Structure 1
Amino acid sequence: MAKILCILYPDPQAGYPPPYIRDSIPDIKVYEDGHPAPHPQPPLGFTPGELVGCVSGELGLRPWLEANGHELYVTSDKDSPDSLFEQHLPDADVVISQPFWPAYLTEERLKKAKNLKLALTAGVGSDNVDLAAAAKLGVTVAEVTGSNSISVAEHAVMMALSLVRNYLPAHALARNGVWNIADCVARGYDIEGMAFGTIGAGRIGLAILKRMKAFGCVLHYMQRHRLAPEVERELGLTYHPTVESLVAAVDIVNLQVPLYPETRNMLNDRTFSLMKKGTYIVNCARGELVDMAALERAQKSGHVAAYAGDVWYPEPAPMDHPWRTMPFNGMTPHISGTTLSAQARYAAGTLEILQDFLEGRPIDPDYVIVQGGGLKGTGAKSYEL
């Protein structure tokens, strides 16, 4: 019997379950890269399209876990020293968290968790876990790779369009009864013909590039592992070996890399100074990729026209976080990867990983980040210790 500790975001303020505005969602069986979507057995403990990412939703895990003799504890209480997360952590065998409401597994917490064998992200991104400490302590780290990649890509494209077209300020004027077209369009441009660059062209970054091509953008990218020549030709991509080279060449900068020591604050005073006047920035990756104070200075200098992000640090962000009130921002709480559609896939993938792990089968290497004392699977391609 295993003890599973699951940290999820709180229920809707109006109560659970919410009224659903649609009766169903599309059934995605295969991802764009050809990898099959999760297919746990037996069937899911929820109906796809339900809100399962919050506490009462429990990721639909309880029926299978309890039928197989395991214990499940679900909470959103994670940050205070006497939180339910801290109380249950010492004897938990598995900890499940989401990028949208992360339970930070620091080295100190990992050392407290004497029974911990698996740290599992329900979604994509494992930077809430100290990966070096997990490797040293023999803890396996896994995530549901690919489950919400297109969800995030769609959100990033929406943000880029919203910034360039000045949609959010124009909507605010309309909502407030204003009909001043000149004020609405004084900062509005067409995205067609603009140079769009992504730092990171993995599953999400590449999906964004494919979608931006349809808008007639000139496409650039930078990442450690260069894409295949045929992909570059198909999309008309210009490759940049460095962040500095890319940011100097484009009108819109998209961040889509994992967070680790080398990428922390990759957008800083120096990189901002290299950008064109009026560059737009979209960040649906991790908040700490951007130096917060440097961004404020870049906005005042005019190098950054507007910033849209779905990620913050810390999360949840405090009420006085400067990104809530900075001018021309398009911030959202961390929601891009937790649509009802995405939840169906990452909840299914979470169950699939648990079934394999608890029944002694190998976890799909595509889901593995740390195993056997080092980076493995997707982790070896995406992270550094």
Structure 2
Amino acid sequence: MAKVLCVLYDDPVDGYPTSYARDDLPVIEGYPGGQTLPTPEAVDFTPGHLLGSVSGGLGLRRFLEERGHTLVVTSDKDGEDSVFERELPDADVVISQPFWPAYLTAERIAKAPRLKLAITAGIGSDHVDLDAAIAGGLTVAEVTYSNSISVAEHEVMMILAMVRNYLPAHQWVLDGGWNIADCVARSYDVEGMHVGTVGAGRIGQAVLRRLKPFDMHLHYTARHRLPQRIEQELDLTFHPTPADMVPHCDVVTINAPLHPQTEGMFDDGLIGRMKRGTYLINCARAEICDRDAVVRALQRGRLAGYAGDVWFPQPPPADHPWRTMPHHGMTPHMSGSSLSAQARYAAGTREILEAWLDGAPIREEYLIVRGGALAGVGAQSYTTQHAPPGHTA
């Protein structure tokens, strides 16, 4: 029998919900490009309910315990005395979300001799030391595409909120004011602006497709150029490198995975190549940006705004400078954890577990590491010491 250690974020401060704002979810038939939605044998949850917190348990408890397996769910993940640290040594499976990651470092993997499978409930497995996973013979999997559109929608919302100065204007209302001049002194239209994405995989393309109706000029940079038909359909301008693209853009959005080639990419040098007054949007991974370079650029007016959904570490300390820097639109890492997305990545997590427990193949599109090497989507999106760079996802 297997022990499954699941790390999820805390329940709402007022307790686990007893009712919800909506009664159902829209029916999604499939993902763009033809990939099918998760297909577990069954689910033991109601789509639209809160599944990503501790009490939700990704809807896995009944499934696992009826099969005789052990499920441990906790939000206590950091420090030597954490529940995660205590339960890890005899765990067979670790499940974590990018929003509340259980960092599976090389040291932690070494302490877990029974560990065979690490699952990301969502997308993005950079919280797992992939080199150590490869060396240790682990399988690493994530629920590819389950929340890509969720993140893309969040990015478009952030672009509009930053350019239109929505958050400060809303604050005037909350504070009882009616200061229109203050609200519009930093408010512009996105129409006619140039927006570029670093990375043009599923999320990057989804962002561009959603921005096209706003009559923006669309740019992108990626390791591999998109097919000509997509460039023509969206009227895209390709740039070989981020340094080539950013001087042309009023808005830059980051949609690349974190790996050695992208870590620290947006430093003083690259930000210095951007037009004064550019908006930078990052719902990918915080470490792609130099934390203090972003703060300096906002303080000096090089950037007009920075909005992001990702931090390092997660959760960030109370004194993290991104909490108090000027002209920001930061959110906790929640873009890919909407109730809609949770229904998909919970179902996908169960599908992966069903396959692994039954000795059946895990879908190629879910695989990051298998058999001592990058595999599936991991071979395209990640780099390690054992593998050359793939393309940005």
Say yes or no: TM over 0.5: yes
Q: Counterpart in 2 of 1:115? A: 114
Residue 29 of structure 1 deviates from its aligned partner by 2.6
Residue 19 of structure 1 deviates from its aligned partner by 2.6
Inter-CA distance 119–15: structure 2 relative to 1 (3 Å threshold): same
**CA separation in 2, counterparts of 1:301 and 1:188?**
19
Q: Which whole-Å deviations, capped at 9, do the CAs of 1:67-126 have from their partners, x for residues lacking one? A: 212111100011021111011111100000000000000000011110000010000000
Which 10-residue stretch deviates more, 12-21 or 246-255?
12-21
**CA separation in 2, counterparts of 1:261 and 1:236?**
31
Report the TM-score, using the length of structure 1 for normalisation: 0.99
Q: Counterpart in 1 of 2:315? A: 316
Residue 219 of structure 1 deviates from its aligned partner by 0.2
Residue 27 of structure 1 deviates from its aligned partner by 2.1
Q: Which whole-Å deviations, capped at 9, do the CAs of 1:160-184 have from their partners, x for residues lacking one? A: 0000001111111122122121111
SS of residue paired to 1:17: coil
Q: Counterpart in 1 of 2:389? A: none
Residue 18 of structure 1 deviates from its aligned partner by 4.3
Supply the AA of the counterpart residue of 1:113. A
Q: Is the 8 A contact 1:12 1:18 kept in 2?
A: no
Q: Counterpart in 2 of 1:189? A: 188
**CA separation in 2, counterparts of 1:222 and 1:18?**
45
**CA separation in 1, counterparts of 2:296 and 2:242?**
19
Supply the AA of the counterpart residue of 1:71. T
Q: Counterpart in 2 of 1:175? A: 174
Q: Counterpart in 2 of 1:200? A: 199
* Mapped pair 1:24 → 2:24: yes
* Mapped pair 1:71 → 2:70: yes
Q: Which whole-Å deviations, capped at 9, do the CAs of 1:172-206 have from their partners, x for residues lacking one? A: 11221221211111111000110000001111110
**CA separation in 2, counterparts of 1:39 and 1:139?**
23
Q: Counterpart in 2 of 1:220? A: 219
SS of residue paired to 2:72: strand
Q: Counterpart in 2 of 1:166? A: 165
**CA separation in 2, counterparts of 1:18 and 1:6?**
23
Residue 46 of structure 1 deviates from its aligned partner by 0.2
**CA separation in 1, counterparts of 2:251 and 2:266?**
13
SS of residue paired to 1:214: helix
**CA separation in 2, counterparts of 1:372 and 1:365?**
13
**CA separation in 1, counterparts of 2:302 and 2:232?**
31
**CA separation in 2, counterparts of 1:67 and 1:277?**
59
SS of residue paired to 2:183: helix
Q: Counterpart in 1 of 2:388? A: none
**CA separation in 1, counterparts of 2:33 and 2:156?**
19
Q: Counterpart in 1 of 2:228? A: 229
Q: Is the 8 A contact 1:45 1:64 kept in 2?
A: yes
Q: Which whole-Å deviations, capped at 9, do the CAs of 1:44-80 have from their partners, x for residues lacking one? A: 0101001010001000001111121211110001102
Q: Which whole-Å deviations, capped at 9, do the CAs of 1:319-364 have from their partners, x for residues lacking one? A: 1111111111100000000000000000000000000011011100
Q: Is the 8 A contact 2:197 2:220 kept in 1?
A: yes
**CA separation in 2, counterparts of 1:320 and 1:180?**
30
**CA separation in 2, counterparts of 1:177 and 1:32?**
44
Q: Counterpart in 2 of 1:6? A: 6
* Mapped pair 1:288 → 2:248: no
**CA separation in 1, counterparts of 2:308 and 2:241?**
22
Supply the AA of the counterpart residue of 1:80. G
Q: Is the 8 A contact 1:99 1:128 kept in 2?
A: yes
Q: Is the 8 A contact 1:33 1:203 kept in 2?
A: no
SS of residue paired to 2:53: coil
Q: Is the 8 A contact 2:298 2:327 kept in 1?
A: no
Supply the AA of the counterpart residue of 2:337. T
- Structure 2 gaps of 5+ residues are 385-393
Q: Counterpart in 1 of 2:391? A: none
- Structure 1 gaps of 5+ residues are none
Runs ≥4 residues deviating over 2 A:
none
RMSD over equivalenced CA pairs, Å: 0.8
Q: Counterpart in 2 of 1:238? A: 237
Q: Is the 8 A contact 2:197 2:219 kept in 1?
A: yes
Which 10-residue stretch deviates more, 374-383 or 60-69?
60-69
Residue 384 of structure 1 deviates from its aligned partner by 0.3
Supply the AA of the counterpart residue of 2:12. P
SS of residue paired to 1:264: coil
Q: Counterpart in 1 of 2:361? A: 362
Q: Is the 8 A contact 1:195 1:251 kept in 2?
A: yes
Q: Which whole-Å deviations, capped at 9, do the CAs of 1:212-237 have from their partners, x for residues lacking one? A: 10111100001112111000000000
Q: Which whole-Å deviations, capped at 9, do the CAs of 1:238-271 have from their partners, x for residues lacking one? A: 1111010111111000001111111111100100
Q: For 1:223-372, list aligned pairs within 5 A.
A: 223-372=222-371
SS of residue paired to 2:280: strand
**CA separation in 2, counterparts of 1:81 and 1:322?**
26
Q: Counterpart in 2 of 1:210? A: 209
Q: Is the 8 A contact 2:164 2:186 kept in 1?
A: yes
Corresponding residue pairs, total: 384
**CA separation in 2, counterparts of 1:107 and 1:143?**
19
Which 10-residue stretch deviates more, 351-360 or 12-21?
12-21
